[in-house]
Structure 1
């Protein structure tokens, strides 16, 4: 490890079913108690770790995902056997590459080439998430994870974090919307008189829809819980990737949206008779979301997180922080966490006020200085691109660029953090769909200099206006004083 970049012809010529059959046999045998007792699995472990994140060698992503199923069957908390523990916690290749390759596969599985890839990825990532959660509890693997986050801050780890956030937003939003639909169906069915008047076929269809919605909510909410949990426990020790310029506003928007859903005005409409039946645990979700807020605030040495929170025009509301704090007190959250969360809310409020003052001071900003694609995440928006469903950024507001870059194909200038955020999910120019990567961006040095000069001139103008106003006040006071003396 790592494998050579070019796959040898001998390996490439092997029929795919050789590997597929081996994985199926391992999965089958692993589910039979004691079937693998005494069997040395080290070579299988080596094979899986080497190839599950190597699309050059095994192109079929579903086959590589099947390798994760094997590992899930061997996971100590499931198998309960000490040999399995050694396989994960004492195996040299596992200690060096398992976390790295799981993170890479988590990213790779976004695009499988299948028409069902959007939905397939959730099941595959569920298996990966279970493994990652277990590995986080193993100190050696956790250290490896932290090292990867540091080394790959702008690489695979940032992509992993981006897709984790994408999935969290989609799954929770989908679940909450389905809950509202389910409650409407419940209301229809509970009105016995009106319900009995409907044709039998319609009642059957509505009943089937009701049970279908129940299953969707249960599955989506379980997956959402996993994703939010992973955000919570990883952010406690790994904060830097969350606070990168291309990520921090995205993270803040996600957290604000979750907070709005759980403690905002519509929270009562999400009340269920038996929430546990649907894996819906709003108190636990709120705790985890607040923990992410607090973890990132602790790691925010440059104090950029409060500004990112307040910049979210879709979900941010200063009152939500106090509302969440009140709920946390009632459910017995740690007082120190609540206090830090409230302090973060105060900082966000101050940042919002400062941003308004800055915006007012800048006055009318020339259009050429504004980013054409800057916006906030619209969690409910799904669009179709080349037969691929994907979450996208809605163009809701224009903002002043700080680091303008030119897109080489469309020749349009955008802000670097904004286009880098887009490229985490889609390696294409958003204006003409041509291939685009971060290293292809061309700094617009001339425009950046003009923007900086514009900001300086507006600041000087503001200071000049302030000085003139103070001078006028002083003159008026002197005149008034002279009149009183006379």
Structure 2
């Protein structure tokens, strides 16, 4: 026994050396957090502790043997505490004791062990009230007649749970412990008992013997599998298995303690290593990633962490370090999800998240931007991308990129985007697990990501050393994860905008903006406002504010530099194409010259460079222009413009805004607007269809607000970019997005009232950009402004033409309504009603037809004259008809809420116009005969002269007549609408008469 105690204390041989397969080796893991605690010190402390307890242990062991020889074996639920084996100097103090117990097993010719522990008595000595009643079948108490007789329930635990046999067996992964079976047989004969009891002490002997025996699979896997079998059998409540919760807990504790010993003292037992992961704590990793069949459950991890409270840092920190190191080698095409799963399984425990964020490799202060990606524990998880330096995606999907067809490129993009979605979602879940683990982890993450942003601020510069900043993929992955985190508060109604504390960005230690250019304020002004506490943030900043500004800054270091890189690669590709074309065109002049070999080599190099440039370009575009990513980012930036609108115009004043401007807005850094305009300028030019179904009205309203108040933004190029975006929103010929983009300009009162004045002011102000090339730049900007004004004129002309045809449309529509109403009234006839009911194939089109009619009314109702024309058509206009249509569309959900609200407001306008029309008729009283229409005897609003009969009639009346008969009703001569002669003199006379009547 003393020999084994010395072995546990570490003095039975030389210190094991860290080899290539040892995961505790210094070259495989980062340095320990407490390097002064050497292996010699640990062994010395263990030996001192064992020397103090050796005499007491031997005495108690002898006393125990005497009791066993005089009394029957203790029952299965014996309250005797089990002393687990010692793992390290810290393992002995895994639980703080109220009293310490020690047990000694008899010394035998084979391996024996003495184990000591300090733990609360409740864990090993359950009270009678807490002990679960044993529920076994009759066979469970039956004694198996063999060399080592035990109950069937005990043998069930040995053979089905522990995979231990006391006789030869052919069971896979089971072990026959021949020497221990012989020992037990001798001990049973000496004690005079008929049956051997499977007590916790005996289980400990079985476990030691099993782990000391070479088996066909590693000891770590055996212990994890044993735990899983134990839990599965407990859930199934197998009859042969004794359902004693206390005994089960003791067995679990035994398994967990020996697992800790194997992980911390690799040379303790045989098969304490795995071929792929060597020795040490990293052996747990394949059971976390799902690489092996057996899996570490939440309950197992919880039990392990609870038992090894003081040792968990030494056990789990190497696992975190190993996973981060491994992630730096995994590409976007690799098995990154398994490591995400393993990380999430561990980080959900607060104690482990504290270890993770407390590591010296969490956020080292001396790291540059590139090292934030490669040399921090969390940065490695953001590293895989389509643009990584290993070019795995480029080599896989874009080999010989210059020769790929568009079809092959599209297929490659689909595959890459599918992988990116899985990666982004997995990374989001990983970060979310970290944030939810504890408030300390949330704060540590914010500090880490802000540090990554600050140290990669150089990415926005024109010339930057690529070795000192993180990759494009790392920065874009930061954006993707933060955008997903922001989805919790970025909603369609923008209800959470008011929760964003602007002053937190302007005056907090989290965000250092001292080197950033402000929108329209100097650094001195900002410092003065900060000192006077005009920019004082709230004391308790919410996570929405934190998350919002971090996301905004991530976009600044990621998207705009990526857009610039695409432009630079495209420019280099064009230059390379020109060189290639020049070499091919001049081939005849150098083909037969001594320099032919040199030119051929140059041509070959140009072709390889073309493949490289095209592959790099396609890889970056595949990473950046994934539709879901672009749309989510666009929606976040629209939320940003809503916040900016709240800051620039907090009281919702009418444009142009009064001076002086809001100090919160002018103190903001330029990137708050620059990132928005650059993003939409690039996306609207390349992928305008990505922006459909997004609330761009908010974006356009903000742009108009900025243009109408140029004092709020000093930089003329920001305003020029805004004009460029508005120019891109102008509808194009035969483009599917025309209707949507047209509505941005034609359905907003703010745009209609302020667009032209704002554009004209910009047209003048761009003369003074202050740049050396302003003479040339202003022509491009003015062209875009002129493009907007030209579209405005086109819309105006179209409205004029549409108004001329409005009366014609109303007359034709009124006639159709009359015919439809007459037909409906006649459906009551006995012969027609069955026929109408039987035509069920027509029923499905009524909703669509009603929706189209509604769209037409809403489109034409922009002009008030259309509303007046509808009301004055007495034959077909009834407010009740429109109300019925509104009721049907709401019931059938034919339109969305916004469109239904617009239609309801149109009905109100019809009602108001009808009331005004009736009131006007009463006010006018008797109408002079010369002002009456000769056909309908109504007041002529727009008198026209018929060319042949020279009769004066109302335009609306004669146009309605021409719908059915294009002849003069007075002499039957040919007559068309364009032949009508406006009678302006009579119209002026009628208008004057109406005005005089109203004044009375």
Give the TM-score taking structure 2 as reference length: 0.27
Larger RCO of the pair (alpha carbons < 8 Å, separation 6+): 1
Give the TM-score taking structure 1 as reference length: 0.48
Larger radius of gyration: 2
